Structure 1
Amino acid sequence: MFADRSSWIADNQPLKGYGVAVTRRSTGTDPLLFVTGFGESNRLYTWDTTTEQLTDTSCGILADTQRRAIGVAAADVDADGHEEIYVHNTDAYGGYTKNCDLLFDRIEHDDRTLWCDIFSLEVNYDRGNFHAGRSVAAVDRYGTGRYGMLVACYGTPSRFYELGDDGELTDMSDAVGLEFTGGGRSVLSGPLISDRMDVFIGAERGPNKLFRNENGHFTDVSESVGVSDPDGNARGAALLDNGCGTFDIVVGNWEGPCRLFQRHGDRFVGGMPEALQTAERVRNIVVADFDNDGNQEIFVNAIGAVNRFYRWENRTITPLDAGHADEPTGLGTGAAVADVDGDGTVELLVVHGELKAQPLSLFSIPNENGWLRVYPTTQYGAPARGAVVELQTDCGTQRRVIDTASSYLSQSEPVAHFGLGTDQVPVSITVTWPDGRSTTETDLTVCTEASVPHPIAPRF
């Protein structure tokens, strides 16, 4: 069961919030948690080792009290070795908005981190995104270590921004096959149906979309691979390690049955597991090994209904007690996972809002199990989002994808987190990057984090 850790959040005033993305500081391993504010200040939380609390450090343009922010994701778009933060703003339910998006680039100056908005550069004066949408995901379509940012829009064409060497942002959605008009709600990116970064978009009033990556360009294969679900109203979506060397997709639907798309060969088989049908009014779905027992759990975040919690083991979903995380009066919107205090157990941060402001919630599951964390980096030293990490232990294999988007409005930490239970011994880890290159390491220590650089990254 989850225990309440919300006291770890300093000055936790009610917030009308939506999404949360987790990146890292420019140096070290400490997480940065960016929480979007809708018509009020965004927040940027860091862990204060003195007070042992998450402290809001946002100010100036980063806080941005003038816009209505909802979706957020981080990735290295300029190949400088550090992640930028893309914030999707909208004051409209669908169609077009008066609020332009922001793309924050970090600048280190006098031992301080400053932020500037790339959309505000003169070269981008007419390139802003005014399409109303929801979620954002990072996509490295060629595997070069340079990411584009995909925005799932609502009633207007999706946007996919890539950054040129001159600082010019270009919407590449039509050129690369990622243009999609519909009720875009959630977005996932990773090796879904190929061995490169494919894209899944969960849609309201269906159909969902799945775009296969074919040498950096995308083809809509959603109907042929079995994920379209035209009668669904998708919200959150997440990837599950199916134990067969691929990933299944779990999708939460708004006021309707949740779906589990199980990968079989070159397609998915959809189903509505009975256990999942207790979940109502779904907003987000987050998957992680919260108790370090070696199995993933599924957290279903709801708005105006009880949150639900499940175990995922042998491709079977079993209900669990959510403990303090059930939040029957919570108005959940976004949610993400990070090890905020560095103790090897991941915390779950839940954002609330939409109907009214509520404080953030933080939860974790007390345990004494072993763990191993793997932090792969790109050719430039940034988090390698979309990379696949496979852990071989004396008891079997676990696989994770470095998070590109936690489906609905949010994005979790760029780390593969593995629980080892009480007696599992790690044998090897294999990291496969979005360009197909891979490396295997066998010198592993339980209860540590292993950093794994890209095979062609410079060695100094």
Structure 2
Amino acid sequence: FLLASPSRGCIPVQKPSPASLGGAHPAETLGRTVLAGWGNSVPRMLALCLLSLAWLSEGSQRSEPMFVAVTHRLLPPDYDSNPTQLNYGVAVTDLDADGDFEVVVAGYNGPNLVLKYDKARGRLVNVAEDERGSPYYALRDRQGHAIGVTACDIDGDGREEIYFLNTNNAFSGMATYTDKLFKLRNGRWEDLLSDEVNRDVASRFAGRSVACVDRTGSGRYSIYIANYASGNVGPHALIEMDVAASDPARGVVVLVDVAAKAGVSKYTGGRGVAVGPILSDSASDIFCGNENSPNFLFHNWGDGTYRDVAAAVGLDDPYQHGRGVALADFNRDGRVDIVYGNWNGPHRLYLQSGAPGRVRFRDIATPKFSMPSPVRTVIAADFDNDQELEVFFNNIAYRGSSANRLFRLIRREHSDPIVEELNPGDALEPEGRGTGGAVTDFDGDGMLDLILSHGESMAQPISIFKGTQGTSNNWLRVIPRTRFGAFARGAKVVLFTRRSGAHLRIIDGGSGYLCEMEPVAHFGLGHDEASSLEVTWPDGRVVARAVASSETNSVLEVPYPLDTEEPLVPAPLECGQGFSQHKNGRCVDMDECTKFPFVCPRDKPICINTYGGYRCRSNKRCSRGFEPNEDGTACVAQVAFFGGYPSAGSWPGLPYSALLPLVLGLCLCLYAL
């Protein structure tokens, strides 16, 4: 681009790429370039103020559109498959066990939809026809006014059941119509909650999101129901099969609410739910974003019982109103991070750090990222397969236009990711009444497709979008299975690559808002190749296997490891840069500081091992009660811990990365004046 100079006309300036910055902010490099180009011909005040403004800015939005609308081709609006109605939650599952995914959409003032990709016609069709002879007919359930939907295997038969959270027009407290839990039985989908043995279990409370939790690692899932309480009416519920009282082979599934026993029976305005090993190594934890009350982070104690530690780790966010949420590892340090949106409040981008028992979450959201909006679903995925994750905010046009937003998080070594705003293209939808969304790969080309539902204040059809960038990049999709053969929701998948280290994905049992993402770990590889992968199930079982070059750009299914299948001698694996194979067969982080004692230079002699790498810092000496910061450039106060998790009040609110540009810019302007 060009910058105007009074003495030299227009100066061409090359915008630096993140890789060339060496950790510097793009605006910092831009400022140096501007000053060098203008020399001394411009008053110092103007130059310094320009530098400070450039530093304070987060960069302009990338102009290349990420998505193009393909609704007209894949799902043209019509009465049968894409009616113009109020829709809400979206879940991705395989209802007919043919290996292809279906998309289940919760219909509010119309029928629920089951969208299946017809390969011959190259489009989606609704198989839940308005025909009583159809096995899917009961799923339509027009009377339910469904809002949330999830799918998982609750009885261990290897197929997923479908749970619809029905509000029946009630905002909170009691509803007049129960939720539905559908199972394929007798050749058709039937509601288990209508069985005589389960009538007392059926929820009659208004709620929002539902999610699937394998709380004990059995391979059988519980349904977590984020009800919206009114006073002491409508606590959160956790419904699962009573194994002792059930006989699934004969179609008898007895359900029981174990929320009180598990420690999650809370009264609050429940909203978004995400499920995965957030704090645990393998067991499924539950994050619940709430309205009018603090968030929950239920930590699994390993026996299927939970304790809320949100305040202790700094995730309670008590004065905001949570909506959509997603789990991801944004800085590739092997830890699960959390991104979520607050309704017309600051959106959060929390990175996890600290040792077990000393965990904290630190919000690194930039001003643009955190900018309040009427947000609904939040999705974290690699839409262009370039190895960097994007975060999609699906907004609802509430009291005016509110466009959807898209950000890319660019990983940096030993520093927080760069947050870059992208152009969503056709997925901008400024007048869209966004209520739900999910991603999957309909046509098997390795590019994630985005499906968005609309409703609440205006009936609108469903929208489908396809990515336009990164079509030549490599990719890999991994589908873990439970011991019963169903999708292993809550599993953790780590992919080791030849050049870019380890990448982590969670098969989330919830995610989004009112929604459930596909049960797939989708990895964009760019021009890199995978060398091996590791799957961890909620019960702690682990499988590590090599990935051949021929398996690039394919879908890999990973079965649950049976005892008879475990090899006596682990197969050799190529773990990639920064990792090595342990004697147990798994790829583990290599401790470069121990293996190479003199790896650090003299001016920064202290070596600190990191996930997949290391960093060096100066030998800073601090007074009692203080400790060196991560770079060893300053002393910071030590945080006192007295067992368990630290108090929430011990964590700083605003990250240093946000304070530095603000303070520097202010100082520069004052100096110039």
Tell me which amino acid in the other structure corresponds to 1:316.
I
1:149 and 1:442 mapped to 2: Cα distance? 34
* Aligned partners of 1:252 and 1:285 also within 8 Å: yes
Instruction: Please name the residue that 2:407 is paired with.
Output: 310
Structure 1, 188-197 or 134-143: larger mean CA deviation? 188-197
Structure 1 letter corresponding to 2:289: G
Alignment of 1:213-252 (within 5 A): 213-214=300-301, 215-242=303-330, 243-252=332-341
Alignment-derived partner of residue 441 in structure 2: 339
Which one-letter code corresponds to 1:310 in the other structure? F
Taking the aligned partners of 1:51 and 1:296, their CA distance within structure 2 comes to 32
Counterpart in 1 of 2:523? 418
How many angstroms apart in 2 are the aligned matches of 1:438 and 1:26?
A: 28
Q: TM-score, normalised by structure 2?
A: 0.66
Q: Retained in 1: the 8 A contact 2:533–2:547?
A: no
Give, in whole Å, the separation in 2 of the partners of 1:386 and 1:312.
23
Shift of the 339–279 alpha-carbon distance from structure 1 to 2, 3 Å rule, reads: farther
Q: What secondary structure does 1:252 align onto?
A: strand
User: Relative to structure 2, which stretch is displaced further, 191-200 or 262-271?
Assistant: 262-271
Counterpart position of 1:255? 344
1:18-167 to 2 correspondences below 5 Å = 18-59=88-129, 60-90=137-167, 91-107=169-185, 109=187, 114-155=188-229, 156-165=234-243, 166=246, 167=253
Cross-structure match for 1:398: 503
State the structure with more CA Rg.
2
1:261-305 Cα offsets, whole Å, 9 max, x none, are 210112212354223134511111011111111111111000001
| RMSD of aligned Cα (Å) | 1.4
Q: Structure 2: which 5+ runs fail to align?
A: 1-65, 130-136, 247-252, 412-416, 566-673
Deviation at 1:206, TM superposition (A): 2.7
Per the TM alignment, residue 407 of structure 1 is displaced from its structure 2 partner at its CA by 3.2
Q: In structure 2, what is the Cα distance between the partners aligned to 1:28 and 1:57?
A: 14
- State whether residues 40 and 67 of structure 1, in contact with CA within 8 Å, keep that contact through their aligned partners in structure 2: no
Matches within 5 A, 1:296-375: 296-304=389-397, 305-314=402-411, 315-366=417-468, 367-375=471-479
What is the rounded CA distance, in whole Å, between the counterparts of 2:93 and 2:299 in structure 1?
Answer: 27
Equivalent of 1:440, from 528, 538, 544? 544
Q: 2:284 aligns with which of 179, 197, 201?
A: 197
Question: How has the CA–CA distance of structure 1 residues 413 and 108 changed in structure 2, closer, same or farther, with 3 Å as cutoff?
Answer: farther
CA contact (8 A) 2:263 2:306 kept: yes
Q: In the aligned structure 1, how far is the partner of 2:482 from the partner of 2:367?
A: 40
SS at match of 1:181: coil
Contact 2:327 2:511 in 1 (8 A): no
CA contact (8 A) 1:378 1:457 kept: no
Cα deviation for residue 107 of structure 1 reads 3.6
Change beyond 3 A, Cα 1:40–1:435: same
Contact 2:85 2:109 in 1 (8 A): no
**Among residues 478, 481, 490, which one is paired with 1:386 in the alignment?**
490
Q: Distance in 1 between matches of 2:326 and 2:420?
A: 17
Equivalent position of 2:361 in the other structure: 268
Deviation at 1:240, TM superposition (A): 2.1
Residues 206 and 234 of structure 1 are in contact (CA less than 8 Å); yes or no, is this contact kept in structure 2? no
**Aligned partner of 1:138: which letter?**
C
- Where relative contact order (Cα < 8 A, 6+ residues apart) is larger, the structure is 1
SS of structure 2 residue aligned to 1:2: strand
1:379·1:457 contact (CA, 8 Å) conserved in 2? no
> Within the alignment, does 1:292 sit opposite 2:355 as a pair?
no
SS at match of 2:287: strand
1:206 alignment counterpart = 293
| CA drift at 1:50 | 1.3
| Separation in structure 2 between the aligned mates of residue 194 and residue 271 of structure 1, nearest angstrom | 22
- Please state how far the C-alpha of 1:364 moved relative to its aligned partner: 1.6
Q: Tell me if 1:177 matches 2:281.
A: no
Say which is worse superposed, 41-50 or 405-414, in terms of deviation.
Answer: 405-414
SS in 1 for 2:489: coil
- Measure the CA separation in 2 of the matches of 1:443 and 1:42: 39
8 Å Cα contact 2:97/2:159 also seen in 1: no
Quote how far apart the aligned CAs of 1:4 are: 0.6
User: Aligned to 1:138, what secondary structure does the other structure show?
Assistant: strand
SS in 1 for 2:427: helix
Change over 3 Å in CA distance of 1:372–1:117 after alignment to 2? same
| Greater Cα shift, 163-172 or 263-272 | 263-272
Bigger fraction of residues in strand? 1
Which range moves more in the overlay, 69-78 or 164-173? 164-173
| Separation in structure 1 between the aligned mates of residue 547 and residue 377 of structure 2, nearest angstrom | 37
Cα gap change, 1:271 to 1:292, in 2 (>3 Å): closer
Q: Does the Cα contact within 8 Å between 1:198 and 1:213 map onto a contact in 2?
A: yes
| Higher helix residue share | 2
C-alpha distance in 1, partners of 2:564/2:150?
Answer: 27
Instruction: Specify the SS of the correspondent of 1:14.
Output: coil
Does the 8 Å contact 1:279/1:300 carry over to 2?
A: no
Tell me if structure 2 keeps the 8 A contact 1:389–1:429. yes
Displacement of 1:259:
1.2
Note if contact 2:328-2:506 (Cα within 8 Å) is conserved in structure 1: no
Instruction: Confirm or deny: 8 A CA contact 1:311 1:320 kept in the other structure.
Output: yes
Matched to 1:145, the amino acid is: G
Give the corresponding residue for 2:561: 455
* CA shift in 2, pair 1:320/1:169, >3 Å: same
- Count of equivalent residues: 454
Change over 3 Å in CA distance of 1:221–1:402 after alignment to 2: same
For 2:207 and 2:514, the matched residues in 1 are separated by 10
Q: Is the 8 A contact 2:436 2:512 kept in 1?
A: no
Runs of 4+ aligned structure 1 residues displaced above 4 Å come to: none
> Aligned residue for 2:71?
6
Structure 1 residue 108 displacement after superposition: 7.0
AA aligned to 1:258 is H
Which is worse superposed, 325-334 or 254-263? Answer: 254-263
8 Å CA contact 1:275–1:318 kept in 2: the answer is no
CA contact 2:174–2:204 (8 Å) conserved in 1? yes
Q: Is the 8 A contact 2:320 2:342 kept in 1?
A: yes
SS in 2 for 1:351: strand
| Counterpart mapping for 1:275-286 below 5 A | 275-278=368-371, 280-286=373-379
